[in-house]
Amino acid sequence: MAMAFSVPVGILFGVLGMLLYAEAKKSRIFHFAIVAVFIIVTMMFPSTLGYYPIMFGILGGLIVVLFFGILWIWAKRRPKLEGSARTAADLQTISYMFFFAAASLICTLLGNPFTGLYFPEMVLEYSSLPYSYSFGTKIIVYLALGWLFALLGHYKAVQGKSKDERL
C-alpha cells in the first residue's frame, strides 16, 4: 500500500506545492486536487478491475483519435508559430509520439490474449514471454523519452518569453 500511495501522494504534494508557489487561484488548486484524489483513490484499489478486452479496444481507439486530434491542432497551429514557440510545439509533439508508442505497447502487453499478462499460460504456450519483456523495456524507454521531450518543449517555450516571464 505504501508504494500504491507514494506516486499519487507525491503528485498531489508536488502539483499543489507548485500551484501555491505559482500563486494559482483557489478554484484551480481545487481542480488539480480533484484529479490527484482520483488518482489516489484508484490506486488504493489495485485489484478491483478484472480483464475487460473491450475496454482496451474502446480506450485504445480513443487514444488513437485523441493522438490524431493533437496532430491536427498542431498542424493547423504550427505555421502561425515562430522561433522558440515553433520549436517548443515540435518538441512537445515528439513527446506525444513517444507517449502514443508507449500507450500502444501497454495496450498490447496487457490487452492481447497472446502476450497479455492476464493469460500467463498462453504467454508460455505461445512462447511470447520474450516479447513481453521487450515491450516492457520499450515502454519505459518511450516514456522516458516522452517526458524528456515534453520538458524540452516546455523549456523552449519559456525561452521565447520575455525576461520577466522566464523561469
Q: What is the pLDDT of residues 55-65, one digit of tens each?
A: 888 999 999 99
Q: Would you tell me how many other CB atoms lie within 10 Å of the CB of residue 111?
A: 20
The pTM of this model reads 0.83
65-82 pLDDT, tens digit per residue, is 999 999 999 999 999 999
pLDDT band at 46 (very low <50, low <70, confident <90, very high): low
8 Å CB contact between 1 and 40 = no
Give Cα 54 distance to the centre of its chain: 21
* Residues constituting the chain: 167
